[in-house]
Structure 1
Amino acid sequence: MIEQKKINSPVFPFTAIVGQEEMKLALQLNVIDPRIGGVMIMGDRGTGKSTTIRAIADLLPEIEVIKDDPFNSAPDNLNNLNEIIKIKTPMIDLPLGATEDRVCGTIDIEKALTDGVKAFEPGLLAKANRGILYVDEVNLLDDHLVDILLDSAASGINTVEREGISIRHPARFVLVGSGNPEEGELRPQLLDRFGMHAVIKTVKDPKLRVKVVEERTLFDANPDAWISKYEKEQESLKNRIIEARDLISSVQISDDLKLKISQVCSELDVDGLRGDIVTNRASKAFAAFNNKQEVTTQDIEKVITLCLRHRLRKDPLETIDSGDKVKKVFEKIFE
């Protein structure tokens, strides 16, 4: 086994991030169970969205891959003759101006026709396989590209077709989008396809603001010392995520709780069944995160707002916040 050299710049520790509990919880649950469907993070500028997303990726355990494989493929069996190395969980930033070819990859048609081989140049979806794909300002991205990202995230496959030539490759990743609501919202049908929706706001408490500024200043002054200070907490959280991943397949949720989740979705007039499915999955992930094998009402309460708030139909005359509306209906049905 060969260890890949680490040449990454220091990353602010996830456990050192102050506040923004909604965003941190949504990210943790998605890395425990990527089938939740990713997370959309909406909030003011300068609230630590990018810092937190990079921090969760840095926290995750290394993965085994076949050396020089463009798709971060896992070793398929013990007799594999390829060289195996360990790499950090991929964290890919998708730039706002990215083209479809840059995202999906390209096929060299000329080479395919003259040499008779499928000459494929992998894109960002290939690099993000088995990792995290982060799209800042996703609400400013072309709808067609957002569709492609969501399709790949849901199916775990990327398909590139050019002039009758088709290439398919694995593209399993946690899709994380962020944006500022002042710059516009995603279309409802795209927003609905994100598993969770976290809302973050600028910290108002002056003491907490001072703490955030001090922590960042100390980290910038001496990153290595700051990272070592949080080493035990980081290791503890990493182990907790690994254990939750192992436990989640055995977590149970009773028929009664499933019924109540669907009653909440029905009363909120949530279109489709995606809200029911995501709430069930997120509840199980939260139970596993807390080392439990049975989902409780408290587990559902912790995640249901994140899973449903962005699926409610927008009513311009409505004065109640969508998150508060979810809580109100939850309390009524689960009383």
Structure 2
Amino acid sequence: MQMGMIGLGRMGGNMVKRLREHGHEIVGYDMNPDSGRDVASLEALVGALAAPRVVWVMVPAGKPTESTIAKLGELLEPGDIVVDGGNSKYTEDREHAATLAQRGIGFLDCGVSGGVWGEARGYALMIGGSDEDYERVRPIFEALKPEGDYGLVHAGPVGGGHFAKMVHNGIEYGMMQAFGEGFATMMRSEYVTDPAATMDSWREGSVVASWLLDLFDNATEHDPSLKGVPAVANESGEARWMVEAALELGVPTPATAAALWQRQTSRGGADDILRVVTALRAQFGGHVTKVDEIATH
């Protein structure tokens, strides 16, 4: 199958390699001239593809995705399909689909998980869109997913793929937070002398065995205490969107919310909050923290 790929970074570039290994003809474009791109513009990419075309957008969510899809809407023709494989918010998908539909262009949203390991392991793909558009692009999805019966799902109509990926990432936040809390508890205990080795032992035979634990083993191989890793974790948006959606749907998500707040705290946003708490404790109870002397009245 022939397809255009826009965005040849860590994800898009590796996806192109996997697709070509499976025999697909991929025309790649990226704004960076050193990206290994095949064409130097969106116009050239569209011109290099035979109609009806499939173009996969793998650029950062937000304005880069919006501007790229808007430009494709001007360049593509009825019968073509656009796939958004970035981390766009699910509510934006229907807007993109409606705009493209006015010109007879199909739209699929695709949540992608697999990171930098996806080229070798395959990617978990969650697709939103019509049955007809899904089946047309399915050979591409089948090449990208892992070998076997799992890793690919037509999650629902437009928006369903990114909604599923949002929930996936919310769960991921909670799992990583739980592993971190367990590691920290063992690190401060006199009873466990090697927390990293203890957690590594759970990779086989344990009910918490997972790929995340395999990655933890990689991370702690040369730094068992993880002291060389900065204690800052950014949040990319999906867990926040999941908590917002869950509130609207009346679903309690305390684990996801706690993991989200912890990431925001790690970025320094809680410093002023904790200063207020410390100051108030000093005022009503005389609990002075001697970083700076806090005056009590």
| TM-score relative to the length of structure 1 | 0.28
Relative contact order, higher structure (CA 8 A, sep 6+): 1
| TM-score relative to the length of structure 2 | 0.31
Higher Rg of the two aligned structures:
2
